[in-house]
Amino acid sequence: MQSAGRPTRLQPRTAPQPGEQSVGRPPTRVSTPVLDRLSRHPAVGVRQEVACNPTCPPRVLRRLSHNREPEVRNQVAHQSACPPDVLVRLSRDIAESVRLGAASNPLCAPDDLERLSYDTADGVRIQVAKNPSSAPAVLERLSDDTKPLVLVCVAGNPSSPPGVLGKLSGNGNPGVQGQVAQNPNCPADTLERLASNGSPDVRKDVAANPSSPTPLLEQLSRDESEWVRSSVAVNPAATPEILEQLGHDHDITTRRYAAANTACPPELLDRLIRSRNRQVRQAAASNASLPQYLRAMWQLANSAS
């Protein structure tokens, strides 16, 4: 899911004057006096870079929040150091891109996020739907939005309440269902329902979710789709018994992922490190849980060859 946030950063538009060095993007770590000076630079691209610099002090951000270029104010609205009263003002900005920046900021006040959730600009509502600071009631209302991308963002928001995720799991859009399936706070009964979805992409997302219960992972480890089975193999919640089964899978990618899973039992690693497939052998050898005697054996075999 792509962010509908910041615009592309701009390069300075003015040429250097005689005797003056060309000014590009200020480095991340610059002193406050330098940032203060560059915040008054005639090139909008330079002021924009100052506004997005993580070390920019609040007083400079406050000045830049009055800048006439919306791309500069947008960067101020994104800033974690943005003063609260400035963020409130920017959330009411006439420029959509500036309101969008405020809506994406996790420090945006709940009341402002609620107001922005009624914004007529789709991009602003999308950012509210993605913002983990949005209140459950706001996310519940946005789950009825007419724009599919808003629903996708609500479905993927870890702050969305279980009831909202359950409702969105019945949405006919696989993109919405997939985000529900990936949500770490998705309730077990919703994951179970999505595990029977006709789309392997959705089942794959359930299979990769660490919140999926063990019986569900056992079911999906026998799925007809190798994509689904390989997603179970990378899941940190997969049990040694499940990985033992997947370590014998006919699909090489699934066996390779099982070999790389740190929950892979030593007996299986002992077999997989001897696999005829080079990728499977390397995955087993790189496993942080590989017993020392197998690691020594692998190193000896490779040094001899």
Classified by CATH at the fold level, domain 31-116 comes out as: Leucine-rich Repeat Variant (1.25.10)
Both tokens of 257, joined, read 């992922």
Q: Residue 28: its pLDDT value, please?
A: 59
User: What pLDDT is stored for residue 305 in this prediction?
Assistant: 57
What are the pLDDT digits (tens) for 157-174?
999 999 999 999 999 899
Contacts of the segment 160-163: beta carbons below 8 A, 24+ positions apart: 160/136, 160/185, 161/136, 162/186, 162/187, 162/190
Rama region for 11: left / alpha / beta (φ>0; ψ in -120 to 50; rest): beta
State the Cα–Cα distance between residues 78 and 9, nearest whole angstrom. 13
> Where is 246: in which H helix or E strand?
helix 240-246
Task: Calculate the CA dihedral of residues 262, 265, 269, 275 and round it to 10 degrees.
Answer: -110
Q: Which residue intervals of 65-213 are DSSP H helices?
A: 70-78, 84-90, 96-104, 110-116, 122-130, 136-142, 148-156, 162-168, 174-182, 188-194, 200-208
3-state secondary structure of 145: coil
Mean pLDDT by 10 residues, the chain (305 residues): 41 37 53 92 95 94 96 96 96 97 97 98 98 97 97 98 96 95 96 95 97 97 97 97 96 97 94 93 92 83 67
pLDDT digits (tens, 9 = 90+) for 193-207: 999 999 999 999 999
Question: From the centroid of its chain, how far is CA 163?
Answer: 22
Contact by Cβ (8 Å): 217, 241: no
Cα separation, 12 vs 22, whole angstroms: 9
Cβ atoms of residues 294 and 270 within 8 Å: yes
Backbone angles phi, psi at 256, to 5 degrees: -65, -45
pLDDT at 302: 74
3-state secondary structure of 20: coil
- Site of tokens 């519940």: 140
Give pLDDT tens digits for 77-111: 999 999 999 999 999 999 999 999 999 999 999 99
The answer for residues whose C-beta is within 8 angstroms of residue 188's C-beta and 6 or more apart is 211, 212, 213, 216
Q: What is the CATH number of domain 216-305?
A: 1.25.10.10
Return the pLDDT at 294.
84
Alpha-carbon distances of 13 from 46, 113, 189, 265, rounded to whole Å: 9, 34, 56, 59
CA atoms within 13 A on the CB side of 14: 13
Contacts for 226-229: CB closer than 8 Å, 24+ residues apart = 226/251, 226/253, 226/254, 227/200, 227/201, 228/200, 228/203, 228/204, 229/254
For the entire predicted model, the pTM comes to 0.83
